[in-house]
Structure 1
């Protein structure tokens, strides 16, 4: 196919369509405010430490080295241990975080209009890494089932992007070959490298492009208007 003339378009969910980073930061801020013990450290320290530890744990989870329950426990337990906060708070903090995190979900700027306009012209789907329970809540809240022909959640399939299996599975579900699919996502590793290795065209949504990503992606964009333009919408 030509550069952006696909038969089927898949979207990533978090930080492509929905602003996970903003919701995560707001949820952690709520946790910080909720526990006097945690207020002994600054919000910046909590964010930086949590992000670093959580990123490493998701890498372990993606390799199958840990399960979701260990990830949930360790991301707060290890954050608190490093910050010299009572590690026994991990379970309460995790529950508070998930309750508050859900209150902060919202579309990425420009994503809703672009997604809906694209869905009017092309069959679309969603591929998302993450826990099925949480991702399904997002999909329901934002009524994505009304437009998405296929919704693929990594936990249900048992493999995470960039594993080639998830892309092969998505091709079968879409009834399209790799050369007929465009993938729109924000992650260099999961979306750009995973998608391009699968033989898909990739539109990379990022404010901080790096050479490896721009070389692999068919389009690198910061504004969804550019994506719409390249799709002739």
Structure 2
């Protein structure tokens, strides 16, 4: 990887601890809205439902507004907990507002960024919502590490669509053979990067599928071995 000059990161589940920050956001909402529902039980049901709706959103099968409402509605229905639509919509809005206010990063994130910034130009490519992702970067105080931040909303398509990666490469003024993409999603980050000639590094957990063709790590600090 001696020819590499630029590294692109995914944000959620890669640098920014989405699960922890999401749980804290819901904890705040449950308290404010006085929801008589166990938070851990809710999250156990909500998290896989959220992932499935994100897949639908990524594949352009639902709109942003549907994602925000339906992931909550489906979870409450599955838990047999009655919530009026008006309250669901309010929770959806509060969640988006509160989420970027929590700023926990995955273990090793700052250490890795400090290590890499001396050797490479660093960038972000994320499928998250424009207004939310920029706040996450600012509130977690990592925005200064990145030269280019590309959101799917700013491009008009989502990872793994090649246009997102091509847009990011052009904006960063780098060719694919000199870039690396680091992300947690096999479909969006790894296969998306491979499709345009970017070398991927897959940050995986026990719930991920692993592609034997690519470098895979279980922690951010393992990446130092390759860069």
Question: Do the structures match in fold with TM over 0.5?
Answer: yes
Contact 2:49 2:74 in 1 (8 A): yes
How far residue 78 of structure 1 moved from its aligned partner, in angstroms, is: 2.6
Q: Which residue of 2 aligns with 1:26?
A: 24
Cα-to-partner distance string for 1:124-176 (whole Å, 9 max, x where unaligned): 11101111010011122234443312110111111111111111112212222
Q: Which residue of 1 aligns with 2:38?
A: 42
Q: Which residue of 1 aligns with 2:92?
A: 94
Contact 2:101 2:136 in 1 (8 A): no
What is the TM-score when the length of structure 1 is the normalising length?
Answer: 0.86
What is the TM-score when the length of structure 2 is the normalising length?
Answer: 0.88
**The one of 192, 201, 204 aligned to 1:203:** 201
How far residue 43 of structure 1 moved from its aligned partner, in angstroms, is: 2.4
Q: Which residue of 2 aligns with 1:117?
A: 115
Q: Which residue of 1 aligns with 2:106?
A: 108
Runs of at least 5 residues in structure 2 that lack an aligned partner in the other structure: none
Q: Which residue of 2 aligns with 1:194?
A: 192
Q: Distance in 2 between matches of 1:144 and 1:112?
A: 8
Q: Distance in 2 between matches of 1:227 and 1:124?
A: 14
Runs of at least 5 residues in structure 1 that lack an aligned partner in the other structure: none
Gap change, CA 1:208 and 1:198, over 3 Å in 2: farther
Contact 1:77 1:87 in 2 (8 A): no
Contact 1:192 1:213 in 2 (8 A): no
Count of residue correspondences: 225
Secondary structure at the aligned position of 2:7 is classed as strand
